[in-house]
Chains A and B, each alone.
Chain A
Amino acid sequence: MLFQPINRNYHDFSIVRDKDLCINCKVCVRQCSYEAHYWDETRKKVMHDNSKCVGCHRCEALCPTAALLIQKKRSDFKDNALWRPEFIKYIYKQADTGGVLLTGMGSPVNIPIYWDKLLLDASQVTNPSIDPLREPMELKTFLGSKPSKLEFSKTKDGSPKLKTKLAPQIELNYPLMFSAMSFGSINFNLHIAMARAATELGICYNTGEGGLHKSLYKYGKNTIVQVASGRFGVHRDFLNAGAGIEIKVGQGAKPGIGGHLPGEKINEMVSETRMVPLGSDAISPAPHHDIYSIEDLHQLIFALKEASEYRVPVSVKIAAVHNVAAIASGIVRAGADIVAIDGVRGGTGAAPGMIRDNVGIPIELALAAVDQRLRDEGIRNRASVVAAGGMRCSADVVKAIALGADACYIATSALLAVGCTLCAKCYTGKCPWGIATNDARLAKRQNPDVAAKKMVNLVHAWGHEIEEMLGGMGLNSIESLRGNRDKLRAVGLMDTEMDILGVKHAGR
């Protein structure tokens, strides 16, 4: 700790270098954007500074001789059930800086994950399961308001014709979409990769609140454009560029607070797209200053519908919070075609740690409550429900759909697919994987050709697994699973939890 604050040695990771394998080729030195590895000219070898390691594993992944191991620093504080090491370190940090603890994705707090307590059904004897490799399986999903009833008229030759005017829909080949990640928080290479992947897959990606770069307008059919409290990059062409418009009211990782894209991340392209000055911080206010009530929301929804000539559905995204069901009901009554709910485990590029770890409720409970409330009020058909916030695998998606979601938003998993290791240092702008950074040296680590392929592979893989699970349950369409909670059973949950989720305990 020579010349350093005394808590500098309480770092999180240790770099272990195998001396027999390390050839001092400096690949690690070039890869580490935190300068944890360095070339020591005097010793003529690669050295490292453990205290700078953020645990992103980039060096470990690229080391050509597999000489590196990144592990948790094995120094332990005395066991204390209350004062766990993260809290002790928070206090040391804040005592030094006097600031809010900023973080990125991935919470160390153990908020219950209900997906793990829910099990799926399968057909045995009394109903046949279906082999998706031999029989057709339908994953196609339409998002938007559905009519309460269908009316038909007869044409001259006596054949029926649909009289009911259908509301605009977003058509998806999979019940999945890439969730909102703004251009700026992630770089252009990943935006174009998402756009290309969504187009190839026949799904949608969401622009996030940072506008849409002109060169991506051609992917409009597979784009949902987002309008958030900062109104960055929002103009007529933008609103008409996509297949849907989303009003972002809240984000699962940081309900109740706005966004903050530091000026360092605002390069020329981001500045042009966001319509903010080069290098200036882009701050989204916590609330929309024109939405203080459901009536105000109604006005904004219809202003956006007018602006887009009622061609595309309008979605409203909220964070899952305590009164989510009542809020969702208000949103539907305000005229939204889609309600997106983002749970407490949702990702972010930057959020205060205290907010990320303590504000909001799990998506499973929020989703079940919203679906039930909309059903009880007889307005479930008026809007689609999209669940977001920490869908880790295809089984989570299947369970979400059984709980009542029409589709799921995935973002963290899409970033994991392109290399993210959830080191939670997105806010530094120095992402060694080239994801949450606009530094030209780092951003080029994401080759859109490679990234798009990985995202496509991920969704294909999940699609196959969803088909397998559906087939096992004897269903041949994702539509038959929607809100079908009989296909779920709980293990180890309390009566209240099961009541909210609307599921029986396993064995019942």
Chain B
Amino acid sequence: MKRVYPNKDFCIGCHICELACLTAHSKSKDLILAYTVERNEEGLSSCKHVHEGGPTCVALSCRHCDEPSCVAACISGALQKDPESGRTIYDREKCVGCWSCLMACPFGAIARHPLENKIVKCDLCHDRPGGPACVAACPNMALKQEERS
């Protein structure tokens, strides 16, 4: 399947991918409203996080693993592997906020929702026409969506 791969050699740590993610997952689809209103009032948060260490930085989000530990750990069936697309999909309604997935994820790519007992996780912007927002927004082509063996 096509996954989003970060390139740590050319991630410049601008965090623009986080802003793109936030906007893509907002109701308003407007960066200014998403960042200043929805983020504060509804706990809207980015599925992607830029991690920095020294001069190196890298933008991480759900890897949509072939055999996801989070799915195995999920007690409510909220996390499932979609056999068709290969995505690890999240059903918010089923989620009970037990955080088992957070502990199971070897990449630390799942985050707690800041206000509710829910998680925040990359959905690969599956319903966005132009593909993942983070990839489209990266100013240095440090994020690529591609098929890798």
**Known A444-B10, A447-B142, A450-B141; contact A26-B15, beta-carbon cutoff 8 A:** yes
**Known A21-B32, A25-B19; contact A62-B14, beta-carbon cutoff 8 A:** yes
Residues in B neighbouring A26, C-beta threshold 8 A: 15
Give the total of B residues in contact with A, Cβ under 8 Å. Answer: 21
A25 contacts B35, C-beta separation under 8 Å: yes
Give the CA-CA distance A450 to B141 in the complex, in Å.
7
**Known A440-B55, A441-B55, A444-B11; contact A27-B141, beta-carbon cutoff 8 A:** no
Residues in A neighbouring B31, C-beta threshold 8 A: 23, 64-65
Count of A-B contacts judged by CB separation below 8 Å = 48
Residues in A neighbouring B137, C-beta threshold 8 A: 64
Give the CA-CA distance A440 to B9 in the complex, in Å.
9
Residues in B neighbouring A460, C-beta threshold 8 A: none
A260 in the interface (beta carbon within 8 A): no
B36 contacts A23, C-beta separation under 8 Å: yes
Interface centre among B11, B12, B19, B35 (most CB of A within 10 A): B12
Give the CA-CA distance A382 to B55 in the complex, in Å.
51
A72 in the interface (beta carbon within 8 A): no
Residues in B neighbouring A329, C-beta threshold 8 A: none
Give the CA-CA distance A62 to B138 in the complex, in Å.
10
Main secondary structure of the interface of B (DSSP, over half): loop
**Known A23-B35, A444-B12; contact A64-B141, beta-carbon cutoff 8 A:** no
A420 to chain B, nearest CB (A): 15
Give the CA-CA distance A264 to B9 in the complex, in Å.
21
B6 to chain A, nearest CB (A): 12
Main secondary structure of the interface of A (DSSP, over half): loop
Interface centre among A27, A434, A439 (most CB of B within 10 A): A27
Which residues of chain A from 444 to 465 have a CB within 8 Å of any chain B CB? 444-445, 447, 449-450
**Interface range, A side:** 10 to 19
A46 to chain B, nearest CB (A): 12
**Known A25-B19, A441-B55; contact A30-B14, beta-carbon cutoff 8 A:** yes
A444 contacts B16, C-beta separation under 8 Å: no
A182 in the interface (beta carbon within 8 A): no
Residues in B neighbouring A64, C-beta threshold 8 A: 16, 19, 31, 137
A31 contacts B140, C-beta separation under 8 Å: no
Give the CA-CA distance A62 to B16 in the complex, in Å.
9
A415 to chain B, nearest CB (A): 17
Interface centre among B11, B15, B139 (most CB of A within 10 A): B139
Give the CA-CA distance A65 to B22 in the complex, in Å.
14
B68 in the interface (beta carbon within 8 A): no
C-beta contact mask, B81-100 vs A, less than 8 Å → 1, else 0? 00000000000000000000
Give the CA-CA distance A30 to B141 in the complex, in Å.
18
B36 to chain A, nearest CB (A): 5
**Known A23-B36, A65-B32; contact A447-B14, beta-carbon cutoff 8 A:** no
Interface centre among A30, A31, A440, A450 (most CB of B within 10 A): A30
Which residues of chain A from 30 to 89 have a CB within 8 Å of any chain B CB? 30-31, 62, 64-65
What 5 A-B pairs come out closest when comparing CB atoms? Answer: A440-B55, A447-B10, A23-B35, A441-B55, A447-B140
Q: List 22 A-B contacts (CB under 8 A).
A: A23-B36, A25-B15, A27-B15, A27-B16, A27-B19, A30-B15, A31-B14, A62-B14, A64-B16, A64-B19, A64-B31, A434-B12, A440-B55, A440-B56, A441-B13, A444-B10, A444-B12, A444-B140, A445-B12, A447-B7, A447-B142, A449-B141
